[in-house]
Structure 1
Amino acid sequence: MASALVDDPVVQPFDQLDRQLVQALMIDGRAPFSRLAEVLGVSDQTVTRRYRRLRGEGLVRVIGLPLGMRVGLYQSQVRVQCVPGAAGAIADALARRPDIAWVTINAGGAEVACMTRSRSRRERDSLLLDKLPRTRQVTGVSARTVLHLWTGGPGGWRGLNDLTPDQTAALRREVRAGGGEFELDPADRAMLAVLERDGRATYPELAAATGKSESTVRRRLDHLTEEGVVFFDVEVLPVHLGFQVEALMSAAVAPSDLEAVGRTVGSHPEVPFAAATTGATSLLAVVVCRDIEALYEYVTLRLGAIKEVAQLEITPALRTVKRAGLLTDGVRLFDPPAPSR
């Protein structure tokens, strides 16, 4: 989860029940409303009404995504330097590509950062070696291949604490760690095409998309989730949860220390995404804080205590154009959908 810095006075943080519902969905995005209501201690109708309102107003959405490394996606973090005034158009063009996620405008508006999720090396290289360098308004391109993920997939973000440990445990599903590359079949891909738009799509909808029976798609989705191949993310701007600042962090760490440092940084509640990458700064992370002072304290105290971090770069995100799989528009995440489940 990541977001741009938002200073819009009309934006109000969610109330406690909204935050609890968001955190519950981060733990189990497909938990039935009845189960969510039981854990949160409210009625089924209250949970249903809250989710439909938040989703209908374009503030929250559950989406189902494949874990890139498990399904053979080529993932790279790309930074595009632009001429003054061109970042918005370049960011919008990148956001329209289905193989691009997490598009932000950074560094005083002269840089666009994004994550590629290409299905082939040829598709990735076409973007990095051909299309971007030939764009007149692009002055430089750098790319780092994602080698390992510590946080940012199954398991959700640890930055929210509106649920009790007992409530969290009641919602937590067992997911097998590790595992090699997993080959998705055509029915899996058809199911994911639906889940990427609505992670709470009904089993009849998934059955219709795949041509399989409801019981078959239920078993298959349970299997993909338990194996850590598919996970459910919650699209929500952190400003609604009380977090005003988001930044991209790059750190240089010696190879012998990278695993330990990455695990430590990935466990920080301020960090919803942490990965090992190629390049001189081998640790990449997204940092989300309540305000600038909190970001300063995180950098100087939490990161400052990690002596193995030899070099650090913090780049604030000015605007988020695209998240995991959708365009954002101001504080709205997407156009209001049809009535949801």
Structure 2
Amino acid sequence: METTDPRGLDEIDLTLVHALQVDARAPWTRIAAAIGVDSATVVRHWSALREEGLAWLTAWPTAERWASTTDLALVLLHPGITDESRTSAVRRPWVLGVDETSAGLLLLVAASEGLPQLGERVRALETGATVLRMDVAASVSAEDSTWRLPVLSAAQQRVVRPSREAGGRPSAEAVRLPKPQTVAEIADVLDEDPRMPSAVLGARLGVSEATARRAVDRATSAGLLRFGCDLAMPAAGYRRGAVLWARSADPEAASIRAARLPEVHRAGVAVGPAPLFACVRARSLTALPAIERVWGGDVEIVDRWTVLRPVKRNGHELDASGRSIARIPPRW
């Protein structure tokens, strides 16, 4: 596939994307104050990023919601997959991520009705493709929407999302867990536009603006929904990626440590002989040894796959330069 390289993001672009990663629903005035420009400049830059497919908003389940509602599998397809089967796999709403790697096509497959459904979905991929490997995830400590650009200072991030401590402890009403059906309805509506105003969201849900705002706050505070911003990684200088498979005497602790590494955008524990997996992105593959050292001396790296290109991420099909070219709403 031929494609032009994306333009590099400038300082305002990078700080804007990081701000939206911190809080995608923050008012433009607050984001402008955090990054030191006026609101009109923020809106102009965001409009350009979105129109060029260089950045896009996300509404995504957190790791806590994955654990309570979803079964996941990392599925490796033979690199000789037909073009038709590849396109079919990418367009399936329950295939949440696709990366072309040196080992084959790596898919993140989700199911909400148990392991039998997960198995059925993997078998559905075998038309025109050979499944080389299927690793069922036991836990997920980091997924793509948790990754952050290292641009804003801690002080700037506090401006984007003021701490609740300034207003005292949240009330019992504020922290009350929303019903799963309510969370699902909010996620479904805000998937169209994570910055949808509370008044519009309330009208869509058939509730008042205040009720809609409280429901969103509860869902995010409870760790059931996350709103953020994704981007074409090459435009920010991150042109290399890898998938690491490893062992450790304490896989859960090692997985949590992996999630804290700034280069890791997906990590967890699968069921298998090398259960730890960590997907990393970097400016150069020469960074891998340092990343592995920081991960910990108790982590034994068993295999490394180079990511040749990301194909799909969080419901967005990507071109060869990482730009969003099609939206495929996730459903599982």
So what's the TM-score if we normalise by structure 1?
0.82
C-alpha contact (below 8 Å) 1:149/1:275 kept by paired residues: yes
Tell me what 2:139 maps to. 148
Tell me what 1:278 maps to. 271
Q: Which has the higher contact order (CA 8 A, sep 6+)?
A: 1
In 1: Cα distance, 2:4 partner to 2:246 partner: 33
Aligned AA for 1:317? V
Corresponding residue SS for 1:138: coil
Tell me what 2:305 maps to. 315
How many angstroms does 1:335 deviate by? Answer: 5.4
Change (3 A) 1:93 1:234: same
Residue 224 (structure 2) aligned to one of 220, 226, 229: 229
Aligned AA for 1:132? L
The 5-angstrom pairing of residues 47-126 of structure 1 reads 47-67=42-62, 68-69=65-66, 71-82=68-79, 84=80, 86=81, 88-107=83-102, 111-121=104-114, 122-126=116-120
Identity over aligned pairs, percent? 26
C-alpha contact (below 8 Å) 1:91/1:321 kept by paired residues: no
C-alpha contact (below 8 Å) 1:70/1:182 kept by paired residues: no
C-alpha contact (below 8 Å) 2:59/2:190 kept by paired residues: yes
The answer as to 2:155 corresponding to 1:166 is yes
Q: Residue deviations 1:180-211, cap 9 Å, x none?
A: x97521x5433312322322122243234322
In 2: Cα distance, 1:151 partner to 1:292 partner: 21
C-alpha contact (below 8 Å) 1:91/1:105 kept by paired residues: no
| Dislocated runs of 4+, deviation >6 Å | 6-9, 173-176
- Could you tell me which runs of 5 or more consecutive residues in structure 2 were left unpaired when the two chains were aligned: 165-169, 328-332
So what's the TM-score if we normalise by structure 2?
0.84
C-alpha contact (below 8 Å) 2:24/2:227 kept by paired residues: yes
How many angstroms does 1:71 deviate by? Answer: 4.7
- Could you tell me which runs of 5 or more consecutive residues in structure 1 were left unpaired when the two chains were aligned: 1-5, 337-341
How many angstroms does 1:153 deviate by? Answer: 6.9
In 1: Cα distance, 2:236 partner to 2:290 partner: 19
In 2: Cα distance, 1:38 partner to 1:101 partner: 34
| Structure 1 vs Structure 2 CA RMSD | 2.8
Tell me what 1:339 maps to. none
The 5-angstrom pairing of residues 14-29 of structure 1 reads 14-29=9-24
C-alpha contact (below 8 Å) 2:3/2:320 kept by paired residues: no
In 1: Cα distance, 2:302 partner to 2:200 partner: 46
C-alpha contact (below 8 Å) 1:87/1:112 kept by paired residues: no
Tell me what 2:314 maps to. 324
In 1: Cα distance, 2:129 partner to 2:82 partner: 9
In 2: Cα distance, 1:73 partner to 1:174 partner: 30
How many angstroms does 1:149 deviate by? Answer: 2.6
Matched residue count: 313
Residue 189 (structure 2) aligned to one of 165, 188, 194: 194
Aligned AA for 1:54? L
Tell me what 2:180 maps to. 184
C-alpha contact (below 8 Å) 1:105/1:321 kept by paired residues: yes
How many angstroms does 1:8 deviate by? Answer: 6.6
Change (3 A) 1:205 1:117: farther
